[in-house]
Amino acid sequence: MESGNDTQISEFLLLGLSKKPELQPLIFGLFFTMYLITVFGNLLILLAVSSDSHLHTPMYFFLSNLSFVDICFISTTIPKMLWNIQMQSKGITYAGCISQIYFLLLFAGLDDFLLAVMAYDRYVAICHPLHYTVIMYPRLCGLLLLMSWIISALNSLLQSLMILRLSFCTVLEIPHFFCELNQVVQCACCDTVLNDMVMYSASGVLGGGPFVGILYSYSKIVSSVRGVSTAQGKYRAFSTCASHLSIVALFYCTGLGVYLSSAATHGSHSSAAASVMYTVITPMLNPFIYSLRNKDIKGALKRFIGRASTKHQLFWD
């Protein structure tokens, strides 16, 4: 097989979550609702953090960036899926598929790194409270965020360029509702050993590295909290980590479930259904987890909504 890209390939076919036409309106309504909830919920977090000076701290700086990334993450896949259902089409252009892969990997990587950075922030706050403002100074926070963007962007670019070297012989069907990297690589009609090596190596390093960092941070937090003499002090320390731990568990458990499902049922629609968990459900639940378990966020949201209501009344008066 000749290397390089086959110029005859103009599009891929995304088979979606179900082939049954009668289920398409239900799927459209469900995912449209979840998309609106996700965007609205994460926008509220962004507005609450930006409008309340009490939340201008490293913890909420990273949280607001996580909310922004989640909006971008879900917007990479769901609008195209909804458009295809509405237009009764399954096609996505070759360029559109490569672009979707790039942005999916970019925002998934950013999610991963931001969760690790937030774990480090909690470690410093609990284990070194007196030096917190010295260690987590604004320049370091900006540098950590910038490095997360650079590493994620470079990985996305590498994976996208690796796709460009593959040959595709015909119009191809992907048993998914978006262009998932592994599924696209499997559709190639040439040797994909190098792609597989790069893909799994990057997943191990960029996925496993932040996870190890999270485990290390929380092992130090647990050791530090065990030294607290009062039960109230231990509860207060762990309560500051509860929301972040919930999101970490949700993100990694759903991601692991997707890969296990994909390995067990190669090329089937079940891996697409499992992917809904980390591409749709996780970004949707993040703002709820933080707003319901965090008094600062709830207070900021109440103040923001109160100011918005007052301005609305003054405008109409």
Residues 6+ apart with CB under 8 A from 1: 167, 189, 190, 191
* pLDDT tens for each residue of 202-246: 888 888 899 999 999 999 988 888 877 777 767 777 777 877 888
* pLDDT tens for each residue of 172-195: 888 888 998 888 888 888 888 999
Residue 267 has pLDDT above 60, yes or no: no
Within the chain, strands assigned E span 11-14, 91-93, 172-174
Write the DSSP symbol of residue 278.
I
Residue 3 has pLDDT above 50, yes or no: no
* Residues listed for the chain: 317
With residue 205 as reference, give the H or E element that holds it. Answer: helix 193-226
Distance CA 181, CA 177 (A): 12
Confidence of residue 275 (pLDDT cuts 50, 70, 90): confident
Residue 109 has pLDDT above 90, yes or no: yes
Range 75-87 average pLDDT:
92
CA-based R_g, the chain, Å:
22
Residue 155 has pLDDT above 70, yes or no: yes
**Which token pair is 270?**
């079940």
Structure confidence at residue 18 (pLDDT): 78
Range 140-169 average pLDDT:
93
Structure confidence at residue 228 (pLDDT): 72
Distance CA 40, CA 301 (A): 13
Q: What is the percent of the chain where pLDDT is above 90? A: 36
Q: Which residue has the higher pLDDT, 301 or 140?
A: 140
CA 202, chain centre distance (Å):
17
Structure confidence at residue 243 (pLDDT): 79
Residue 44 has pLDDT above 80, yes or no: yes
Range 110-131 average pLDDT:
92
Domain-by-domain residue ranges, the chain?
A: 11-316
Q: How many Cβ atoms from other residues are within 10 Å of residue 13's Cβ?
A: 15
The sign of the dihedral angle between the CA atoms of 116, 120, 123, 129 is negative
CATH code reported for the domain at 11-316: 1.20.1070.10
Whole-structure pTM value: 0.87
Structure confidence at residue 6 (pLDDT): 46
Burial 195-211 (b: 16+ CB within 10 A, else e): beebbeebbeebbeebb
Residues 6+ apart with CB under 8 A from 177: 14, 16, 17, 77, 81, 272, 275
What is the number of alpha carbons within 13 Å of residue 151 lying toward its C-beta? Answer: 20
Residues 6+ apart with CB under 8 A from 231: none
8 A C-beta contact, residue 44 and residue 287: yes
